[in-house]
Amino acid sequence: MKRNKGAKQTRETLQVWSLNQARAAIPYLTSVLRSMREHVLQALAASHRARRLAAKPGRSSRKDLIASQEAEQEARQAESRFQEAAGELEELDVFTLDPVRGQALIPFVQEEQLAWFIFDLFDNKPFRFWRFQSDPDDTRRPITPTQQGWTGTTQLA
């Protein structure tokens, strides 16, 4: 297989967290994830309302057309607010796993591999599980004293 001589292999640096740092960020993560969840639910509700209005049988009334456009605009605005909140987390190298369920991934290093603490907004113990990057998305490993993590940066291939 030939390689393009002009193409460079890009590497991205990822800030990794310790478990203590992640726990210290719980109030901030909770606030941002609650906002993200609210924005996603607003966007879904508005999109659903717009689709329902558009699917009405017969000719749409002026009132229905206006309501449909307003619902579409509300959905776009909620999506925009969601993206802003997601950008806040991504600046910290925290990524949402499922915004509706209030779940996010916080990177750390375990056994010299990229791993993720799984933050759960609705769990009374928000950091209960983790998984390796190579694990299937639904993998949940219980956090033990060996998953303390270390701070710094790591290179992604």
Per-residue pLDDT of the chain (157 residues; tens, 9 = 90+): 444 444 444 457 889 999 999 999 999 999 999 999 999 999 999 999 888 888 888 888 888 888 888 999 999 999 999 999 999 999 999 999 999 999 999 999 998 899 999 999 999 999 999 999 999 989 999 998 887 655 555 555 4
For position 2, what pLDDT does the model report?
Answer: 43
What value, to the nearest 5°, has the Cα angle with vertex 152 and ends 110 and 125?
55
Backbone angles phi, psi at 28, to 5 degrees: -65, -50
Q: Are 96 and 89 in contact (CB under 8 A)?
A: yes
Q: In this structure, what token pair is assigned to residue 116?
A: 């993720």
Strands 127-132 vs 113-120: parallel, antiparallel or unpaired: antiparallel
Tell me the whole-structure pTM to 2 decimals.
0.79
Q: What is the CA radius of gyration of the chain?
A: 21
Q: Are 61 and 120 in contact (CB under 8 A)?
A: no
For position 117, what pLDDT does the model report?
Answer: 96
For position 102, what pLDDT does the model report?
Answer: 95
CA distance 156 to 14: 7
